[in-house]
Structure 1
Amino acid sequence: MRTTMYYFVQAYVDSGVILGQTGQFDKDVEKYGNIEYMRCNPENGFFPDLSSTSKTNVIFFCSPNNPTGAAATIEQLTQLVQFAKKNGSIIVYDSAYGMYIADDSPKSIYEIPGAKEVSNLFFIFVRTRLADSLILWQFWTFLLHFV
């Protein structure tokens, strides 16, 4: 998946700006000098201030966030979709842990009116059952220590 994302960004971004946390691209800072990081922290409800963001080519967004578990609200995702439509941005939306959302937060960005109209909307999924298996294995390992 990382290689796919690397080539995706290489193909799409030239002098534009990327919004989001790009992970492995930190090492390529010379190549991607126009990456604009929008910090998501407890003070801003784990959602970036889009009003202070310039036009971006690509937006990387993860909800619910790993490791914080913060899930974007309907209002926040609506704001993100409107921003992308206004600026012609591509949203790379990671909803790998969406099935774990227990409150009324959207499990998918497609729950937002107009999200399907955003050009080239992507989803990234992982095998969430693998995480379940890992948790179960850790639980049994923990129990065996006390037997």
Structure 2
Amino acid sequence: MHRERAAADDPYRSFAERIDSLTVPIALGFVTMLIVVQAVMQVPSVHQTLDKWRSGFAAVPTGQVTSHQQASVELYLSPSQTSSNIVVLVNGKQVADFSHQPFVNISVQPSDVITVVNDSGHVVYATVNQNDPSLVVPAPGQRVVVEPNTQADFPSARFQIPAS
């Protein structure tokens, strides 16, 4: 009984209880507000309106890619070696080989398919290096594994649609 009376008379305890009674509802209110904001931001029209208001990123409307888009892509061979038995095709036509150096430069246009043909006796890896901001696929660092006496394709080239 003495302990209960001492606890009730303790000024620090009553202060802590008042703080607890305020902070818990405030914290729950903040968490609820964050969840509601995240849910509202999932609505595309709200997201787009806020992006325009902030002058930030806004999704580019879909459209047709112009045919004059072109990008330069470097393909690196790994292990780093030269071989005339490893060739690069674009849309089925040979455009380069690795006979002089372990990398090649090629040009791609929308929906071009890059194929690496390996007629050597060992596994090779072809890795993309490109820094053209309009070329989305093949992406920098994208790699294909080409088994001996087989071929492997990169996904068809895709470009970012220019803003109009």
TM-score after normalising by structure 2: 0.21
Bigger CA radius of gyration = 2
Greater strand content: 2
TM-score after normalising by structure 1: 0.23
